[in-house]
Amino acid sequence: MAGVWSGLYLNGATVAQSELSPYVQLVLDEMELLTHSIEIGNEDPLDNGYNSCVSYRFYAFYQALSRKYPDVHYISTVEWTPPNGMSDGTHPYGNERSRVQYLRAAHHDMDLLSCQM
């Protein structure tokens, strides 16, 4: 289940009908990504999770999931070279400027990813 924000703020204000389209498009873009890719793991580089991720944890989930969902693109949360054309995800931390730069690059990558699917 995926919950989506539908234009109602908790203070009672709502997005005007004429301004709602970009929010609807954002959800459509998210659903496209969700139905085509799964990231296995979360914050695996932290707390000494790297070695166990690349040696067995990633593969345990990948093998089970890919049998049932073979058309999904699988992403690892550690920087390495995953097999079979899978990709690795990054979780950058930094100040606001570095985060904006990362999001701009990620948005560009998602546009490229959705074009390839």
pLDDT of residue 18: 95
Instruction: Specify the DSSP class assigned to residue 64.
Output: H
Tokens 């070279």 correspond to 81
Mean pLDDT of 80-106: 61
Helices (H), the chain: 21-34, 50-52, 58-68, 96-116
The pTM of this model reads 0.54
Q: Calculate mean pLDDT across residues 79-107.
A: 61
Radius of gyration of the chain from Cα atoms? 17
Query: 34: closest CA among 115, 116, 114?
Result: 114
pLDDT digits (tens, 9 = 90+) for 59-74: 898 889 889 888 888 8
User: How far is Cα 87 from Cα 40, in angstroms, rounded to an integer?
Assistant: 11
pLDDT at 81 exceeding the cut of 70:
no
Average pLDDT over the chain, rounded to an integer:
75
